[in-house]
Amino acid sequence: MTTAVIIAAAGRGSRMGGEVPKQWQPLAGKPVLAHAIAAFAGLPVVLVIHPDDRARAEGLGVRLVLGGAARDASVLAGLEALAGTGVTRVLIHDGARPLVSRALIGRLVEALETHDGAAPALAVTDALWRGTDGIVSGTVDRAGLYRAQTPQAFRFAPILAAHRAHRGGALDDVQVARAAGLDVAIVEGEETNLKLTWPGDFARAEAILRGQGMDVRLGNGYDVHAFCAGDHVWLCGVKVPHDKALLGHSDADVGMHALTDAIYGALAMGDIGRHFPPSDPQWKGAASHIFLTHAIGLATEAGYRLANCDVTLVCERPKIGPHAADMQAELARIMRVEADRVSVKATTSERLGFTGREEGIAALATATLVRS
């Protein structure tokens, strides 16, 4: 099943005040919407905006759709933009909620296995009053009451049909879904998943971001390939002339294999053999950038970015120095990071062992992933 995200961000947020709508105001150095989008890293995002905000939204790197006069009209515009794309599940989120966790997203998607929709909520624990002119006029039974949150998750076809049929004026997408007879499961929400409504909410969000800190993952990789007959070797994505080749099921790029395994290791997701079994003939002779692209893609989906990586090639020959800069640039290109986050260097084993006897090449790699 394929999951996409719609972020509703066409509102004006008048209660917040300020020169720009709240979703565009800065939070911890970035617009609120940048935090909201980052929470869904690895998933396609449709951002529904007000026409006046197009210039602000151009640099966010997501698909833009113009919203309607009300929230439900904006969500429908986002759904229509996804119609026919093969999406089977959709997460509909308010742009003013910048602190969604990956765990919450996972709970919502899991709930869609057995329900048409799922939405996060927190049970009301405070006493509830009614008030008139600042005076308590009554109480409300809190039993069975919940504070609704987003993202609200749905199977795509039913929620699209529900929005198309709805007459308008819904407070959220659960109301639209229920009007169409869809069942919506309540998923445990999170206190940190607050909606920025009043000026003081920004201070709360800043404090939460500071408290979350960074999740840093470190992984190591090691690989070896023997020499065989040939006239070149592939090392870190660069074709290097040599009087031998490297023997392997794929293109035997020992440096890229070690780096790929380092990323898988940081994610606790095994090694290349788990994801691309050598017993599978489709990977015979495959270019190793396929493996590295897959590994860095998994990291991105999990919300991580590559902070830096370091690859050491161990061999007597060929000489790596003349090609190291090209290798650095190629690895950076494949992983879509700045070149100064990638290190490629080499050493010999002082004529000792199989590398010293020029029977093959070994490679070691370390990768650091960060999620903030």
For 287-338, the pLDDT digits (tens) are 999 999 999 999 998 889 999 999 999 999 999 999 999 999 999 999 999 9
Distant-in-sequence contacts of 268-277, Cβ < 8 A, 24+ apart: 269/298, 271/221, 276/250
Distance, CA of 253 to CA of 286 (rounded, Å): 10
Q: Where residue 372 falls among pLDDT bands split at 50, 70, 90?
A: low
The per-residue pLDDT for 196 is 95
Per-domain residue ranges for the chain?
A: 3-212, 215-371
Task: Indicate whether 224 pLDDT > 80.
Answer: yes
Query: In angstroms, rounded to a whole number, what is the distance separating the alpha carbons of residues 59 and 89?
Result: 26
Compute the average pLDDT of residues 150-176.
Answer: 97
Would you say 344 and 236 are in contact if contact means Cβ atoms under 8 Å apart? yes
Is the pLDDT at 366 greater than 80, yes or no? yes
Q: Provide the pLDDT for residue 19.
A: 79
Res 247 pLDDT > 90: yes
SS3 label, residue 9: strand
CATH class of the region 3-212: alpha beta
Return the percentage of the chain with pLDDT > 90, whole number.
Answer: 86
Q: Which of 47, 170, 178 is nearest to 117 (CA)?
A: 178
Answer yes or no: is pLDDT of 110 > 80: yes
Whole-number pLDDT of residue 338: 94
What pLDDT does residue 126 have?
95
Q: What value does the mean pLDDT take over residues 149-176?
A: 97
| For residue 210, pLDDT beyond 80 | no
Residue-wise pLDDT for 127-141, tens only, equals: 999 999 999 999 999
Using 50, 70 and 90 to split pLDDT, how confident is the model at 209?
confident
- Assigned CATH class of 215-371: alpha beta
pTM of the model: 0.60
- The arithmetic mean of pLDDT across residues 77-99, rounded, is 97
